[in-house]
């Protein structure tokens, strides 16, 4: 395998990101640029194939082709580049990480999402037929060879707890490698007997998406969602993660209609003793912050900075202030500088 030591990103050497069209790539940013799984083209064929090898060679030569260029900009600006997420995982013969968006099955229709990751949006907002399932049981059979070598398995996209293929893979993981760290990104609205069984049999870590702490605003963002139900399931996840010494992280999408709540999530995660992370919303552009004019970005930057300056920790159990500082100083601050350049 091509030596990764001269590359600023390890993803092409240790990760496979699978999307709903059975396309594989080193990360979500490059989905569609690499290769595609079919019943005649195996996981192994892709991992050892020409497209993956070419991406590795490009990165060694500092060629940020395709959407890798977007990550290079973050690297240059010291804004937690996506590449950093893969630096902690080993480089071996097999991938040591897999991230999966296997189905768009979802019970919510979030305003910042699309039919690619929400069956409800595809049907009701886009008026399109159901997205065909790109994977078969053969994919799960092939995946079994890779599970013992993974350091982490992640399920994103749609609502994983509502997807049969995700639950079937988790059943297989429980038999093959039950200690494997399985990270599931959930909207927190689905909790069934089978979900409870999956949690009991696997080493599951939870990323729970909550974009507002106000019930009305939450419902306006996460259409069909009920914040009270999410809070109820949060208590279940807290007990599960605390008892098993697993990670529980609250994931937030800062947007034009909720940015003023971002410091509130410091109190919330502090009180619940969870981790905190802010995602980056680039599209749809009408909800994104990065593309606002400089005067509005300056208002957001100053407003959040003042709130953070006035913030007093609820307890000393969990302090995510550095996460919020990075959101304000590095990410929004960089966008503000970019807006001056644009204008």
Same domain flag for 60 and 117? no
Domain boundary among 100, 120, 138: 100
Asked whether residue 304 is assigned to any structural domain, the reply reads no
Predicted local confidence at residue 126, as pLDDT? 97
Let me know whether 120 and 217 are in one domain.
yes
* Shared domain check, 2 and 78: yes
Same domain, 125 and 241: yes
139-153, 281-295, 303-317: which has the minimum mean pLDDT?
A: 303-317
Q: What is the pLDDT of residues 171-188, one digit of tens each?
A: 999 999 999 999 999 999
Average pLDDT, the chain: 93
Q: What Rg value do the Cα atoms of the chain yield, rounded?
A: 20
Counting the structural domains of the chain, the total is: 2
Domain that holds residue 140: 104-252
User: Could you read off the pLDDT of 2-26 as tens digits, one per residue?
Assistant: 888 888 889 999 999 999 999 999 9
- Residue 294 lies inside a defined structural domain of this protein: no
Nearest residue to 86 via CA among 1, 179, 7, 32: 7
> 């208002």: which residue's tokens?
299
pLDDT at 277: 95
318 confidence band (pLDDT: 50, 70, 90): low
pLDDT at 8: 85
User: Half-sphere exposure of 220 toward its Cβ, with a 13 Å CA cutoff?
Assistant: 11
Assign 55 to helix, strand or coil: helix
Q: Which two tokens stand for residue 168?
A: 């079937």
54 shares its domain with 132: no
Q: Which of 252, 271, 300 is the last residue of a domain?
A: 252
pLDDT at 5: 84
32 plus 162 within the same structural domain? no
Instruction: Label residues 85-106 b or e (16+ Cβ within 10 Å = b).
Output: bbeebeeeebbbbbbbbbbbbb
Q: Are residues 115 and 96 both part of a single domain?
A: no
User: What does residue 206 show for φ and ψ, rounded to 5 degrees?
Assistant: -110, 130
Is residue 169 predicted with pLDDT exceeding 90? Answer: yes
Q: What is the pLDDT of residues 221-271, one digit of tens each?
A: 999 999 999 999 999 999 999 999 999 999 999 999 999 999 999 999 999
Q: Kindly state whether residues 149 and 47 are assigned to the same domain.
A: no
Determine, yes or no, domain membership for 298. no
User: What does each C-alpha distance from 186 to 6, 94, 249 come to in angstroms?
Assistant: 36, 27, 11
Query: E strands of the chain, at which residues?
Result: 15-18, 23-25, 35-36, 97-100, 152-155, 181-186, 203-209, 248-252, 275-278
Give the angle 192-197-199 at the CA atoms, nearest 5°: 95
Q: Say yes or no to pLDDT of 84 above 90.
A: no
At which residue do the structure tokens 């079994």 appear? 144
**pLDDT confidence of residue 70:** 81
* 28 and 165 within one domain: no
Residue 76 pLDDT greater than 90, yes or no: no
Q: Return the minimum-mean-pLDDT range out of 62-66, 102-106, 182-186, 301-305.
A: 62-66
Q: Is residue 340 one of the residues assigned to a domain?
A: no
Give the mean pLDDT of 57-78.
83
- Please check whether residue 42 lies inside any domain of the structure: yes
Mean pLDDT for the stretch of residues 112-129: 96
CATH number at residue 161: 3.20.20.70
Helical H segments across 16-107, by residue range: 43-47, 50-60, 68-77
Whether residues 43 and 66 share a domain: the answer is: yes
d(CA 248, CA 40): 38
Q: In the prediction, which pLDDT does 25 show?
A: 94
Task: Answer yes or no: is 146 within a domain.
Answer: yes
Mean pLDDT across the stretch 302-311? 94
* Domain edge (last residue) among 59, 80, 100: 100
Q: Are 138 and 184 within one domain? A: yes
Between CA 39 and CA 53 the distance in angstroms is 21
Same domain? 139 vs 211: yes
% of the chain surpassing 90 pLDDT: 80
pLDDT at 193 over 80: yes
Q: Is residue 129 part of a domain?
A: yes
Model pLDDT, residue 213: 98
For residue 246, being part of any structural domain is answered with: yes
Give dist(CA 270, CA 294) in Å, integer.
Answer: 32
């Amino acid at each position: 395998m091509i030596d990764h030591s001269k590359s600023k990103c390890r993803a092409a050497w240790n990760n496979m990101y699978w999307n709903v069209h059975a396309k594989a790539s080193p990360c979500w940013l490059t989905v569609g640029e690499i290769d595609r799984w079919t019943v005649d083209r195996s996981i192994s064929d892709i991992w050892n194939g020409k497209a993956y090898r070419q991406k590795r060679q490009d990165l060694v030569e500092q060629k940020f082709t395709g959407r890798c260029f977007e990550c290079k900009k973050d690297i240059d600006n010291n804004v937690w580049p996506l590449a950093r997420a893969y630096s902690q995982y080993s480089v071996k013969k097999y991938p040591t990480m897999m991230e999966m968006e296997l189905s768009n099955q979802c019970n919510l229709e979030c305003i910042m999402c699309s039919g690619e990751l929400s069956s409800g949006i595809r049907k009701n907002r886009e008026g399109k037929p159901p997205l065909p399932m790109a994977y078969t049981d053969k994919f799960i059979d092939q995946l079994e060879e890779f599970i013992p070598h993974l350091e982490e398995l992640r399920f994103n996209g749609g609502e994983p707890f509502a997807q049969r293929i995700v639950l079937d893979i988790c059943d297989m993981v429980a038999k093959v490698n039950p200690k494997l760290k399985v990270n599931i990104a959930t909207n927190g609205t689905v909790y069934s007997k089978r979900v409870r069984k999956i949690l009991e049999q696997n080493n599951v870590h939870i990323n729970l998406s909550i974009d507002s702490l106000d019930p009305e605003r939450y419902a306006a963002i996460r259409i069909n969602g009920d914040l009270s139900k999410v809070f109820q399931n949060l208590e279940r996840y807290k007990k599960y993660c605390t008892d098993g010494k697993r990670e529980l992280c609250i994931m937030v999408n800062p947007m034009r209609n909720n940015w003023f709540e971002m410091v509130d999530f410091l109190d919330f995660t502090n009180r619940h003793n969870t981790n905190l992370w802010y995602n980056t919303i680039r599209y749809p552009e009408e909800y994104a912050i990065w593309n606002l004019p400089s005067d509005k970005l300056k208002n957001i930057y100053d407003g959040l900075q003042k709130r953070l300056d006035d913030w007093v920790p609820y307890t000393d159990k969990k302090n995510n202030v550095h996460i919020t500082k990075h959101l304000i100083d590095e990410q929004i601050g960089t966008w503000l500088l970019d807006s001056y350049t644009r204008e």
